[in-house]
Amino acid sequence: MEKIRVTVWNEYRHEKRDEAVAKVYPDGIHSAIASMLRDEADLEIRTATLDEPEHGLTDEVLASTDVLLWWGHMAHGEVSDEIVNKVCQRVLDGMGFIALHSGHASKPFSKLMGTNSGELKWRESGDTERLWLIEPGHPIAAGLPEYIEIENEETYGERFDIPAPDELVFISWFSGGEVFRSGCCYNRGLGKIFYFRPGHETYPIYYRKDIMQVIKNAIRWAKPVCGPKPTFGQYLPNKQ
């Protein structure tokens, strides 16, 4: 069986600067996510972080990544445009891209979304979140219940200024009254993109089996299909 090569990218700044975050993720969010994925026989996991040379995303790493997970928040602006362009090109060529939580404002996600701002409402008040799974036949829904409830999370609210998703898999409700499109699928070029909302750094979200099941399903959904390369431009008739 050929394994899906997954790179978990994290800016890894909150964990080093904020004691409350370090308590939840002592080795960083990327390590926690990686450790939750390592038991899966069909996945090959490695991590990369912002402060490594080339942000850990060298040409070799990108070329051998089937699905890239991205967690960023306070340092989006420090990600070099050169790397962002390479990441986006790999997505157009077929690499899967999963933007986690505040990754909605990351440079690669923004670039792949186009002209929309990606802005949203937010509030750190520990509201309860209920993620309703609204497409139970979608591959990302495999093995999941009708909804996932998180007792305490950061709130995000609509309007979420994104292009209409090609497929919307989750809608969140928050105890403060907001709703939010929390699981959004896009196709860009040959690549698939999934935005998944939960994962604020002060809550132990990525240790949850149900949340990680969504991420595992999304990785398997987003892996490259390796279809034919598209042909563009003037095209002569196919003679029999």
Nearer to Zn ion, 105 or 168 (CB): 105
84-103 mask for Zn ion (x: CB under 5 A)?
------------------x-
Nearest approach in angstroms of CB 235 to Zn ion is 47
Q: Among the candidate windows 159-167, 199-207, 211-219, 225-233, which touches Zn ion by CB under 5 A?
A: 199-207
Please select the residue that binds Zn ion; options are 30, 76, 104, 200, rule is CB under 5 A. 200
Nearer to Zn ion, 65 or 155 (CB): 155
> Residues binding Zn ion: what is the number (CB under 5 A)?
3
Where residue 235 falls (left for φ over 0; alpha for ψ -120 to 50; beta otherwise) is beta
Task: Give the span between the Cα atoms of 26 and 24, in whole angstroms.
Answer: 6
- For residue 82, count CB atoms less than 10 angstroms from its CB and return exposed for 0-12, middle for 13-18, buried for 19 or more: exposed
Distances (CA, A) of 140 to 33, 126, 133, 235: 17, 26, 9, 37
Nearest approach in angstroms of CB 169 to Zn ion is 20
Nearer to Zn ion, 17 or 239 (CB): 17
The contacts of residue 220 (CB under 8 Å, 6+ apart) are 4, 42, 139
Nearest approach in angstroms of CB 154 to Zn ion is 4
Eight-state DSSP code of residue 207: G
- For residue 189, count CB atoms less than 10 angstroms from its CB and return exposed for 0-12, middle for 13-18, buried for 19 or more: middle
Q: Which residue has the tokens 């909605």?
A: 104
Nearer to Zn ion, 64 or 125 (CB): 125
Question: Which residues within the stretch 26-85 sit at the binding site for Zn ion (CB under 5 A)?
Answer: none
Nearer to Zn ion, 66 or 201 (CB): 201
Nearest approach in angstroms of CB 224 to Zn ion is 29
Nearest approach in angstroms of CB 195 to Zn ion is 14
What is the Rg, in whole angstroms, of the alpha carbon atoms belonging to the chain? 18
Nearer to Zn ion, 18 or 54 (CB): 18
Closest CA to 171 of 195, 202, 142, 199: 195
Nearest approach in angstroms of CB 188 to Zn ion is 24
Instruction: Find the residue with minimal CB distance to Zn ion.
Output: 200
Task: Give the span between the Cα atoms of 219 and 187, in whole angstroms.
Answer: 14
Q: CB 142: neighbour CB atoms within 10 A?
A: 14
137-156 mask for Zn ion (x: CB under 5 A)?
-----------------x--
Where on the chain is the footprint of Zn ion (CB under 5 A)?
102, 154, 200
